[in-house]
């Protein structure tokens, strides 16, 4: 029996058409992104993998994607599963700028049982030696594969399968940009063969306590980036803007300069939840006597942008330190 896969196109490089095949850097200036149906028509080989059908969504530059788009995608995925009893999986095309954030947000909130794979590309669909077509074919292979079930939201680029929680973009233009620095990939796609080599232990969709359908908005959470001489003006501005939480992207292994620390202490005293992450790109921020004294919460090994998402979802439920620590140890 032929598997049925839904393809949702949200725009991004994977949908982009430049001025010619050598336009692989400044193609965005051409302002041409194909809708999902046209992408499938441009890559007819996907139909050799499964029965792929296009789902309209709207092309959005990925720097513009946030809560409203996450909520709409979540609702659309649920609708597709309800309306297609034989649906084997869902593939979401996405720009790479915020791909990891959308994937993690959906991995924390989706309520569907079928595999969901987020895919992008580093070169436009029209580019010479573009990775867009192969990434799309492989994403469909992963979505259709029975071993993809129960793994939450997955990310596929460069023949590599990654967990949404663990993957991050590490280079501006290189094809191997998406990496999981601490743990590595879950598996590969080599031709028609999908191979998994490990599982993640953190709870992921659909078995989570979060549901975007129940939210009108996310609490404001900002990121304070540590740098030599930082004086905390950014932190004070975030508090003045109404931040309910602040993630400190600190020096490794998890600290900020004195001026920012002082401002973060003022924020915590005012009731803002302060979370300590690191700008290092990998590694864990542990609970410590110093963080406990300051009233800050360690971000585990989540990078700042993902810690921000989980903290925002957590703050929709609680502001209690121990409960937020439980949430970060769970997801």
CB-based contacts of 82: which residues, under 8 Å, 6+ apart?
A: none
Beta strands per DSSP E along the chain: 4-9, 51-55, 87-93, 116-119, 153-157, 160-163, 168-169, 178-179, 187-190, 193-196, 221-225, 245-250, 273-278, 297-298
Instruction: List the catalytic residue out of 10, 13, 204, 208.
Output: 13
Query: Does residue 132 come out as left (phi exceeding 0), alpha (psi in the -120 to 50 range) or beta?
Result: alpha
Cβ–Cβ contacts within 10 Å for residue 229, how many?
8
Strand, helix or coil for residue 244: coil
Spatial separation of the C-alpha atoms in residues 167 and 307, rounded to whole Å: 13
Place of tokens 């921000």: 308
Q: Are 195 and 161 in contact (CB under 8 A)?
A: no
Give CA separation, 283 vs 11, 245, 278, in Å.
32, 22, 8
- Measured CA to CA, the distance from residue 265 to residue 316 in angstroms comes to 22
Q: How far apart are CA 72 and CA 42, in angstroms?
A: 26
13 in active site: yes
Gyration radius from the chain CA atoms: 20
What's the distance, CA 57 to chain centroid?
A: 18
Report the catalytic residues. Answer: 13
């Amino acid at each position: 029996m032929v598997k049925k896969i839904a393809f949702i196109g949200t725009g991004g490089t994977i949908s982009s058409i430049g001025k010619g095949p050598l336009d692989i850097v400044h193609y965005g200036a051409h302002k041409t992104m194909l809708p999902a149906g046209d992408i499938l028509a441009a890559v007819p080989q996907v139909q050799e993998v499964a029965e792929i059908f296009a789902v309209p969504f709207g092309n959005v530059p990925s720097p513009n994607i946030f809560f409203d788009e996450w909520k709409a995608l979540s609702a659309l995925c649920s609708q597709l599963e309800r309306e297609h009893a034989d649906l084997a999986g869902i593939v979401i095309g996405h720009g790479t700028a915020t791909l990891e954030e959308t994937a993690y947000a959906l991995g924390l909130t989706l309520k569907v049982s079928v595999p969901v794979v987020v895919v992008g590309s580093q070169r436009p669909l029209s580019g010479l030696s573009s990775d867009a077509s192969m990434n799309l074919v492989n994403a469909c292979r992963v979505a259709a594969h029975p071993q993809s079930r129960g793994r939450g939201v997955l990310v596929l680029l460069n023949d590599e399968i990654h967990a949404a929680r663990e993957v991050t973009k590490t280079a501006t233009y290189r094809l191997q940009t998406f990496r999981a620095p601490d743990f590595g990939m879950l598996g590969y796609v080599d031709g028609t063969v999908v191979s998994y080599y490990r599982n993640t232990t953190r709870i992921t969709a659909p078995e989570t306590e979060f549901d975007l359908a129940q939210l009108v908005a996310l609490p404001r959470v900002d990121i304070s980036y540590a740098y030599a001489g930082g004086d905390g003006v950014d932190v004070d501005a975030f508090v003045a803007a109404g931040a309910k939480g602040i993630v400190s992207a600190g020096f490794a292994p998890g600290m900020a300069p004195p001026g920012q620390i002082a401002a973060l202490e003022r924020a915590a005293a005012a009731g803002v939840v302060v979370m300590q992450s690191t700008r290092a790109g990998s590694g864990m921020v542990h609970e410590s006597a110093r963080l406990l004294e300051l009233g800050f919460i360690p971000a585990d090994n989540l990078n700042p942008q993902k810690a921000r998402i989980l903290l925002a979802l957590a703050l929709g439920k609680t502001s209690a330190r121990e409960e937020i620590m439980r949430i970060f140890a769970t997801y």
